Amino acid sequence: MQSRLQLVSLSLIVLAGAVTRAAEERIDATVTLHPDQAKTKIAPEMYGQFAEHLGHCIYGGIWVGEESAIPNTRGIRNDVVAALKNIHVPVVRWPGGCFADEYHWKDGIGPRDKRPKMINTHWGGVVEDNSFGTHEFMDFCEQVGCEPYICGNVGSGSVEEMMQWVEYMTSEADSPMANLRRQNGRDTPWKLNYFAVGNESWGCGGNMTPEYYANEFRRYNTFIKNYPTKDDPKRKIYRVAGGPNSFDYNWMEVMMKNVGPKMNGISLHYYTLPTGDWDHSKGSSTEFDEAMYHKTLVNAFKMEELLDKQIAIMDKHDKDQKIGLVVDEWGNWYDVEPGTNKGFLYQQNTLRDALTAAVNLDLFQSHADRISMANIAQMINVLQAMILTDKERMVLTPTYHVFDLYKVHQGSMLVPLEVNTPNYEMDGKSIPAIHATASRGSDGKLNISLVNLDATKSAHVSATMPKGSAVAKARILTADKLNAHNTFDHPDVVKPASFTGAKIDGETLTAELPAKSVVVIEVR
């Protein structure tokens, strides 16, 4: 695990009776890297996405239909696919979320005009016409070049239904479900590596107790079969059990004890709310001051405590780290944009989101020995999205750009590090001002990501490098204001630029980071 040393350095100067921050006060931080200890691979799946039948994530965001004037391939938006390919999306979780536990997959196959409709009771009560189903989702994954991660229905579905779905997708035998798939136009089975047995079974997925769900998992999981194929005779599905709601440590304890190695992974969900208040106002996505920004960061950093404590429970029961932690819902959750449907969870995305995304990705990487996947909620038009769409228009968010900057870490070896940094303090709460992560790619290059979270102070960061190192390239994401964001009319307000503030002199790397910025430096 990475660790950090925090130094409190508050120097106030009294000038003419007023207390001001010294103008020259700048953050000085040191990063100590241990390239010789790079032994843990960063699962590319840590950069996964989540796409639910919710608001305009699927309909409008991915699916426009074959007849649409919006350029598409078999009904799937070309602009969105190209943008997702660019950030190397490794895996997409579908069809929910809460929606998964009321989704009946057989309603989403066959001729589209014959598919039964349903009410999406969780998300706006809208009518779901099932035009985007298994074939469309798998086609989308193949177009993007990512893995599908499917969440099955435990809450209102049956064991038989789940068993048949897996057979439908993965069997190449002359079997009823494989033949139904052929009848619907797909001869060869799809590659399905990841399957989840229910979603949030402690809540929208059935309000179960952990003991009850542990038994349900064992039963459903028994009937999720592996269907070997000629090309892949050893093919096995990675089974993900529904894990705890954030800080529910008892749920993790019961699952580890009662299910243990029968699951390959267990999920964890945690959302960052600026106010921390689910019942009244979560906070606006764009209208906030520095104090609310700081509160958002304090709440984002709770992910660290959560990972440490949940993983400690896993370690107690699974010393060999066989079971992966799958953080399959995370991100910032605000009040919806004024005038939009409350059930659609549509929110803007600012520089603040980019900075919290970077912190979360750093934290996931520092727990790379246990985290096998993470999926930000959600990919398009919902919560902390990568992409916003409005009919034919598409805009990339600041969060998208962080995923773009950080894609260099996917599949690389984690370089452990410590950061010696002052704290960023407000209202009696502190967080580290500088945050970092680093990895070494198979090409031998070292990539160092540095985040300056302070809203007003620039930072001087230094690190010792191996002899003969040089900065190959560096990119930065920042903006004038914390609430800077991209709109359909002004899509490039927040976007990465090349960064000239990093250099290596002898064996010392120095980086001059502006306030509120993310920088990724490639060292060769």
Which residues of the chain form contacts with ligand AHR (CB under 6 A)? 52, 96-98, 199-200, 329, 377-378, 383
Distance CA 389, CA 488 (A): 8
Residue 109 Cβ vs ligand AHR, minimum distance, rounded to whole Å? 22
The first and second tokens of residue 338, run together, are 């004024």
Please confirm, yes or no, whether 66 is among the known catalytic residues: no
Please state whether beta strands 265-272 and 324-332 pair in parallel, antiparallel, or not at all (unpaired): parallel
C-beta of 104 vs 235, nearer to ligand AHR: 104
Residues 6+ apart with CB under 8 A from 384: 331, 332, 333, 347, 349, 353, 357, 376, 377, 378, 399
Q: Which residue has the tokens 């099932």?
A: 130
C-beta of 136 vs 328, nearer to ligand AHR: 328
Q: Are 477 and 402 a contacting pair, CB within 8 Å?
A: yes
Helix (H, G, I), strand (E, B) or coil at 125: coil
C-beta of 95 vs 416, nearer to ligand AHR: 95
C-beta of 100 vs 446, nearer to ligand AHR: 100
The first and second tokens of residue 485, run together, are 């964001």
Residue 104 Cβ vs ligand AHR, minimum distance, rounded to whole Å? 17
C-beta of 177 vs 383, nearer to ligand AHR: 383
Distance CA 260, CA 255 (A): 7
Distance CA 94, CA 288 (A): 32
Residue 241, amino acid? A
Residues 6+ apart with CB under 8 A from 134: 105, 108, 109, 165, 168, 169
Scanning 229-342, the segments in alpha helix (DSSP H) are 249-258, 290-300, 302-317
C-beta of 148 vs 155, nearer to ligand AHR: 155
Instruction: Please list, residue by residue across 112-148, b when 16 or more beta carbons sit within 10 angstroms of its beta carbon and e when fewer do.
Output: beebeebebebbeebebebbbbbbbbbbbbebbebbb
Residue 506 Cβ vs ligand AHR, minimum distance, rounded to whole Å? 49
Residue 336 Cβ vs ligand AHR, minimum distance, rounded to whole Å? 12
- C-alpha torsion 151→383→405→147, nearest 10: 10
Please confirm, yes or no, whether 329 is among the known catalytic residues: yes
Distance CA 276, CA 289 (A): 16
Task: Give the 3-state secondary structure of 57-119.
Answer: CCECCCECCCCCCCCEECCEEHHHHHHHHHCCCCEEEECCCHHHHHCCHHHHCCCHHHCCCEE
C-beta of 108 vs 496, nearer to ligand AHR: 108
Residue 98 Cβ vs ligand AHR, minimum distance, rounded to whole Å? 4
Residue 379 Cβ vs ligand AHR, minimum distance, rounded to whole Å? 11
Closest CA relative to residue 395, chosen from 339, 455, 350, 330: 350
Catalytic annotation, pick one of 52, 167, 216, 329: 329
Q: Which residue's Cβ has the minimum distance to ligand AHR?
A: 97
C-beta of 52 vs 147, nearer to ligand AHR: 52
Q: Which residue has the tokens 């959560």?
A: 306
Closest CA relative to residue 145, chosen from 95, 75, 82: 82
Residue 376 Cβ vs ligand AHR, minimum distance, rounded to whole Å? 10
C-beta of 203 vs 491, nearer to ligand AHR: 203
Exposed (0-12), middle (13-18) or buried (19+): which is 180, by Cβ within 10 Å? middle
Residue 296 Cβ vs ligand AHR, minimum distance, rounded to whole Å? 18
Residue 328 Cβ vs ligand AHR, minimum distance, rounded to whole Å? 9
Catalytic annotation, pick one of 200, 290, 425, 507: 200
**Catalytic amino acids?**
200, 329
